[in-house]
Amino acid sequence: MEKFFFVYSNWNWKYPIKIEKLTKFGSQGWNYNLDIKSKNNLYKNNVEEINKKRKLKYLILMFMTIITPGYPEQNTMFNVNLSTFEIIQRGLIKGK
């Protein structure tokens, strides 16, 4: 357990974590660009507000990426925003 908290509290979250490589389905796995596009589409109705107020700008960024081993591969952290990222980080640091 100690190693888990040490590794992930120090992890560079610019790099995704892939729990297990998906080999059975070839190249139909998770794709960073498609995930970003999905987030942008999810919040596209708020783009004007994002540009005007900058309150929601962190909703469309990827803070953490943990890819599931099942098909289709998915980012389990798709809905993590700046606030929840900071909460998770504090928990990982506390667990260390």
- Which pLDDT belongs to residue 22? 61
Please write the tens of the pLDDT for every residue from 45-95.
666 665 665 655 666 677 898 988 877 788 888 888 888 999 999 999 999
Using only the alpha carbons of the chain, give its radius of gyration.
Answer: 15
| Contact assessment for residue 60 and residue 36, using Cβ atoms and an 8 Å cutoff | yes
Question: How far is the first Cα of the chain from the last one, in angstroms, to the nearest whole number?
Answer: 9
- Which pLDDT belongs to residue 85? 92
Global pTM reads 0.63
Domain-wise residue ranges, the chain: 2-95
